[in-house]
Structure 1
Amino acid sequence: MSTAGTIAAIDLGKTRCRLLISGDSHQVTRTGDGTPGLAAPGGVESAAAAILALLEPGPMPRALGVGAAGAWTAPTAALALAETLAAATGANVAVASDVVTAHIGALGGAPGVLLLAGTGAVALGVDADGVRLVDGWGPDIGDFGSGSWLGREAVRAVQRAAVGLGPATTLQQAVAAHISPAPDALSWTLTQQPLARALGTVAPLVLDCAEHGDSVALEIATEAVRLLTASALAASASAREVALHGGLTEHLWFGARLEDSLSNGGRRVAPTVGDALTGAQLMMTRRDLPHERFVHRAE
């Protein structure tokens, strides 16, 4: 049964699933495992199972807002997830991409750009002309300037230096210590699954070496700033506000360079209002947001 006055918000990623239940006088948070994404085989079923596992036991909410990885490229699956959850819980359900709910939360539902720079990278812009998603294409063909991109460029630089194709760099010592006891960076990459996530753990080494003046690391970090800025600018021609989110933006040296680059591009870094969970709550309770055509509802 649904419980009057209770709204549940879900942030379902590929690594973890977060739940926030808000009532008139209480708040509950829970965390579980993520799923491969709605576009993956069995994506709807695995997503529903992960969400229901966090909702139970206990009375079901009257409303459920979900930000789910893969919903942008799989709208049919997103609607199916909304209908599945509505049937299972008796709640009104809204499902959108986790990037959409993150944007709503970060900017409070207002126009602007959200630039996510973590293991992957994506920019979502909302302005008078509509909604535009840039990158988020995965490590094989995109995620430009992301943590996995930084890590891959660092490993390439280390391998090139090892055989005399590139200049010596302090990244050689930093990466060797990080991947120990693997004998070399190439051997290490061949054993890592998923590789993108493993490469993302190398990104802080690149930023630290760059901050301390290593020319190779500085060149890599500078290119990452350029690529991330380009994605943010491409996401909106008119919105001037850019909210930043993700682990890379929390590195003080790198974050400052990224802010300077965005400022030079005519953008202003805006303070974030909330996160994907607060965005999922707002999406559930409002239908007048500019993101509405990317929201799939079942009642």
Structure 2
Amino acid sequence: MGSRQAAPRTVLAVDAGKSNVRAAVFVSAEPDGPEPEPATGALPVQAVQAARSVRGVTLAGGPPNLVAPGGVAEVWAVLEEAWRGLAADVTRVDAVAVGLTGVRGPSPQAAELARLLRAATGAAHAIVCCDVLTGYLGALGARPGAVVAAGTGAVALGVPDDGPYAFVDGWGYLLGDGASSYTLGRRGLTAALRDADGRGPATALAARLAEHYGGPEDAVRAVYGSANPPRDIAAFATDVLGAAEAGDEVAAALVHRTVTELAELAAAALRRERGAGPVPVSWHGSLFLADELVLRPFLAELAERVPDAVPVPPAGDGLDGARTLAAPPPAAAPLLDRLLDHRPDDPHGDR
């Protein structure tokens, strides 16, 4: 592994999930300071979206899949515009870390994206990794445990005291993401359409679909004509949660199913992680903002499934995790050695 270099003074951190992209530059007060402070605020999502339309990027929310045909160029167009929105306030960047949706491990595409980041920013070191990892570091920090992420997608990461870490789900909207806003929104739309057809029980979701889209035919056109169906379908999860809170039984059953699947995710990650004694578990993502409907029932069900799980409220988010990855404190080195196939101070180990 070699001797560690001084922590970078200035780092660019990017959190690129399925629904939005955020970027910020952090500057350390000391040349070897491990905890940089923000030099600028996170680039507004709206600015990135406008840049995408100008540059011809099709997705209005999160970046496209990196490994899809042309994926590197499209993702780079998004990140380059984000960097341009910050570069005027920055004289130097020592390191870059990007948590990117859809990256499960090392790939030529991730290596090429890291090379482009180094060339554009002048940074000596760049890391492109899974946004699940940066979300984990932001929520729980560099220590063993488990973190459940539930936004447009859904995934859990279990990190043991030693040995390999394990993802649970995170297979994307076609094959997985069962406990996500996307799945909750899709199930809500299906329930509303079944009500409209006379095939299912009456539900307030039918009226919410009409408010959201205009009617069943409008909803179908909007979904199938969308440039980003997962993001747009996930937006209906807010309507499902609202209907459940208002007492709709169909919506409440859908939310309960999601909570059960979230607890299953966490329990599976903890089984992979399990050592002796209590294990910290944290969470992040838009679904957990529904405190009474999602977070509290999730914690209660998790306590029944895994009594020695210790809930730890998230300390930060994916942007904080990317900052940690770009400029890790010395104490984080052992865990990061296991989470990454390279060190942040290895310019040839881009992931």
Structure 1 length as normaliser, TM-score?
A: 0.87
Per-residue CA deviations over 1:192-233 (Å, capped at 9, x if unaligned) read 442222221211221222233322112211111111211121
Counterpart for residue 261 of structure 1? 301
Find the residue that maps to 2:40 and give its secondary structure: strand
- Identify the range of structure 1 (29-38 vs 119-128) with the bigger mean alpha-carbon deviation: 29-38
Structure 1 residue 61: Cα displacement: 0.8
- Identify the range of structure 1 (74-83 vs 58-67) with the bigger mean alpha-carbon deviation: 74-83
2:40 paired residue among 10, 28, 50: 28
Counterpart for residue 35 of structure 2? none
Q: After the TM superposition, which residues 23-62 of structure 1 pair with which residues of structure 2 at under 5 Å, given as runs? A: 23-25=27-29, 27-31=39-43, 32-33=48-49, 34-53=62-81, 54=83, 56-57=87-88, 58-62=90-94
**Pair 1:178–1:282, CA change in 2 (3 A):** same
**Pair 1:59–1:172, CA change in 2 (3 A):** same
Aligned-pair identity (%)? 33
Q: Does 1:273 align with 2:304?
A: no
Are the counterparts in 1 of residues 156 and 168 from structure 2 also a CA contact under 8 Å? yes
Structure 1 residue 96: Cα displacement: 1.6
Find the residue that maps to 2:9 and give its secondary structure: strand
Q: After the TM superposition, which residues 85-124 of structure 1 pair with which residues of structure 2 at under 5 Å, given as runs? A: 85-88=117-120, 89-124=122-157
Per-residue CA deviations over 1:117-166 (Å, capped at 9, x if unaligned) read 11221111111342111112222221102111111111221222223322
**Pair 1:56–1:177, CA change in 2 (3 A):** same
Paired positions, count:
296
Are the counterparts in 1 of residues 19 and 231 from structure 2 also a CA contact under 8 Å? no
Counterpart for residue 265 of structure 2? 231
Are the counterparts in 1 of residues 105 and 129 from structure 2 also a CA contact under 8 Å? no
Gaps of 5+ in 1: none
Find the residue that maps to 2:199 and give its secondary structure: coil
Give me the whole-angstrom Cα distance separating, in 1, the residues matched to 2:137 and 2:223. 36
1:70 paired residue among 94, 102, 111: 102
Counterpart for residue 143 of structure 1? 177
Find the residue that maps to 2:335 and give its secondary structure: coil
- Identify the range of structure 1 (67-76 vs 169-178) with the bigger mean alpha-carbon deviation: 67-76
**Pair 1:196–1:85, CA change in 2 (3 A):** closer
**Pair 1:284–1:154, CA change in 2 (3 A):** same
Counterpart for residue 79 of structure 1? 111
- Identify the range of structure 1 (14-23 vs 98-107) with the bigger mean alpha-carbon deviation: 14-23
The residue identity in structure 2 corresponding to 1:70 is G
Structure with the larger strand share: 1
Q: Does 1:251 align with 2:290?
A: yes
Are the counterparts in 1 of residues 16 and 98 from structure 2 also a CA contact under 8 Å? yes
Give me the whole-angstrom Cα distance separating, in 2, the residues matched to 1:295 and 1:211. 46
Q: Does 1:158 align with 2:205?
A: no
The residue identity in structure 2 corresponding to 1:241 is P
The residue identity in structure 2 corresponding to 1:202 is F
Structure 1 residue 244: Cα displacement: 1.5
Are the counterparts in 2 of residues 39 and 73 from structure 1 also a CA contact under 8 Å? no
**Pair 1:72–1:223, CA change in 2 (3 A):** same
1:285 paired residue among 311, 315, 327: 327
Gaps of 5+ in 2: 1-7, 30-37, 50-61
Give me the whole-angstrom Cα distance separating, in 1, the residues matched to 2:114 and 2:217. 48
- Identify the range of structure 1 (67-76 vs 123-132) with the bigger mean alpha-carbon deviation: 67-76
Are the counterparts in 1 of residues 154 and 170 from structure 2 also a CA contact under 8 Å? yes
Find the residue that maps to 1:268 and give its secondary structure: strand
Structure 1 residue 185: Cα displacement: 4.4
The residue identity in structure 1 corresponding to 2:324 is L
Are the counterparts in 1 of residues 158 and 165 from structure 2 also a CA contact under 8 Å? yes
- RMSD value over aligned CA atoms? 2.5
**Pair 1:288–1:82, CA change in 2 (3 A):** farther
